[in-house]
Structure 1
Amino acid sequence: MPVDSTAGTRLLRAPRGWRRVPSMAARMQTFAWVELQKLRHDRTELLTRTVQPALWLLIFGTTFNRLHVINTGSVPYLEFLAPGIIAQSALFISIFYGIQIIWDRDAGILAKLMVTPAPASALVTGKAFAAGVRSVAQVIGVLVLAYLMGIAMTHNPLRIVAAMGVVMLGSAFFACLSMTLAGLVRNRDRLMGIGQAITMPLFFASNALYPVAVMPEWLRWLSRVNPLSYEVDSLRLLLVGIPSAHPWVDLGVLALSAVVGIAAASALLRRLVR
């Protein structure tokens, strides 16, 4: 380690290469922990967020299960629907995460974070991870409700943990998508409008409510480029046992989407503080 002979002090070099990985991971963990600490100020948030998926299962699910208007083969419709509702709930949580970034900017917090040695990608990854952890609560809530309703869902703890990982990957992408939009529009009200405009199309242009086979051809094409569809396929495989045509492709698409989302959000984050 080089020493400054005039001052008698040591000059510390910033870590480079693989040496940066531990410090990068520590910074991401710190940012994620800060985000999760916000739940301490409103512990009812996790409970209130389970109301919407409960309504989808109790009202929409039970009604269409009796009507038999959607052909899901040998799988009861409620079993087919439950993983899709988990993915939908996680989407609704994470798609508005960019609003928090704009709130931080307006409060002067973001500017202070951006002048720290931590790169923008650490901040984005930390927030994306926090969005995933919040979404995991939806997995637990829907599973408990499904057991109470007599829906045949897995009791295998390893499969449940794997499903939580899938939800975290999907939530990370949609949170990064929201933060990317925040970097583009830089306005809270405008971002809220865009989020509301794209949430339902993302949901209905996936296989969360109905099989791909019953979709018109143009909707099938949209479903193939929608990461939510791959998340739902993985959740159905893990929680219900409905086989997926390409399970590793589903995970690969989710992981790649999360990486691309982090890169895009990191590149645009500094536009918010200009």
Structure 2
Amino acid sequence: MSAAPATPQPASASGPAPAGLGLLLVPPRSRPAWRLIPARVAAMCVVELQKLRHDRTELYTRAIQPALWLLIFGETFTRINVIPTGGIPYRDYLAPGIIAQSTMFIAIFYGIHIIWERDSGVLTKLLVTPTPRAALVAGKAFAAGVKAIVQAVVVVLIAALLGVALDLNPLHLLGVLVAVLLGSAFFSCLSVTIAGIVRTRDRLLGIGQAITMPLFFASNALYPTSAMPGWLQAVSAINPLTYEVDALRGLLLGIPSHLPLDFAVLIVAAAAGITAASALLGRLAR
């Protein structure tokens, strides 16, 4: 008779576990915050780019308004020549302001996406992950900035086709992307902060529509701050859009600007926006 097959012995508690079982028993090593947060931000940006790749309709429709501003408003006021622009054509002077305006209009309604994620349950699932809330908000903010950068590239192409004399130095263009990214991050965080207060899409949409044009006209996008009345100059001095436009004019047109101050204000504004939005994100999820 043949010998009976040997019964497999249970693994000893002190002995080495099989390779496959060992992977299940050993918890994954936690990554430090300086690696975790950039990874989460990059993931959010990739998701936003995938949305644009699958649906370009919004990008095309949003290109109509800046084209009309440059073609109609810019050409008309270039002929009238009533706004002091330092000797450059008004159409050229207007182009950086329209870039900032079009990207702000995208970011200021980004809170609607957060409310939609709250209603669909996605936000609750994100909040129970070990990712810090500041990283979630920063990821959302810079994802909105990615969409704004794509919009800015479209406006730059339109301005070039209309004959606007732009400085296409690669280093200056990189500065333009950073300025647009920081400005959009602030305005998207402002939108998320408002969403955390009002908590409904209708209220957010109403407030967003109420503040976009005042922010636009209380900046140097259409005219220099020296042409404003004193009270409006004071409002413009605390408006981050003013510093974004000033940075874009200095980089794209080569006119005198205050780039260190502009980028410092944009960085501080983006950081303050992320902090405020992070504090209200939990309230929005309730």
Q: Same fold by TM (over 0.5)? A: yes
Output the CA distance in 2 between the equivalents of 1:58 and 1:118: 45
DSSP-derived class of the 1:100 partner:
helix
Shift of residue 36 of structure 1?
2.7
DSSP-derived class of the 2:223 partner:
coil
Q: 1:167 and 2:180 equivalent?
A: yes
Output the CA distance in 2 between the equivalents of 1:271 and 1:54: 39
Output the CA distance in 2 between the equivalents of 1:161 and 1:176: 23
Gaps of 5+ in 2: 1-12, 18-24
Q: 1:87 and 2:72 equivalent?
A: no
Shift of residue 50 of structure 1?
1.0
2:270 matched to which residue of 1? 258
Deviation per CA, 1:30-79: give whole Å up to 9, x if none: 22222332223312222221111101000111111111121112121111
1:268 matched to which residue of 2? 280
Shift of residue 13 of structure 1?
6.6
Deviation per CA, 1:73-128: give whole Å up to 9, x if none: 21211111000000000100000000000000011111111111111111111111
More off after superposition, 120-129 vs 212-221: 120-129
Structure 1 residue runs of 4+, over 6 Å off? none
Output the CA distance in 1 between the equivalents of 2:222 and 2:78: 12
Matches within 5 A, 1:137-152: 137-152=150-165
Q: 1:248 and 2:260 equivalent?
A: yes
Shift of residue 155 of structure 1?
2.1
1:129 matched to which residue of 2? 142
1:115 matched to which residue of 2? 128
Within the candidate set 36, 47, 68, 1:55 is matched to 68
Letter in 1 for 2:126: L
Matches within 5 A, 1:1-274: 9-10=25-26, 14-15=30-31, 19-244=32-257, 246-274=258-286
Gaps of 5+ in 1: none
**C-alpha RMSD of matched pairs (Å):** 1.9
Letter in 1 for 2:252: L
Output the CA distance in 2 between the equivalents of 1:104 and 1:222: 34
DSSP-derived class of the 2:135 partner:
helix
Letter in 2 for 1:265: A
Output the CA distance in 2 between the equivalents of 1:241 and 1:224: 22
TM-score by length of 2: 0.89
Query: How many residue pairs end up in the alignment?
Result: 267
Output the CA distance in 2 between the equivalents of 1:216 and 1:141: 33
Letter in 2 for 1:103: W
Output the CA distance in 2 between the equivalents of 1:42 and 1:204: 31
Letter in 1 for 2:277: A
**Larger-gyration structure (1/2):** 2
Output the CA distance in 2 between the equivalents of 1:191 and 1:270: 17
Contact 1:31-1:122 within 8 A present in 2 as well: no
Shift of residue 10 of structure 1?
4.7
Output the CA distance in 2 between the equivalents of 1:190 and 1:229: 26
Letter in 2 for 1:247: L
Shift of residue 169 of structure 1?
0.5
Letter in 2 for 1:252: A
Letter in 1 for 2:125: K
Contact 2:67-2:155 within 8 A present in 1 as well: yes
Output the CA distance in 2 between the equivalents of 1:160 and 1:50: 20
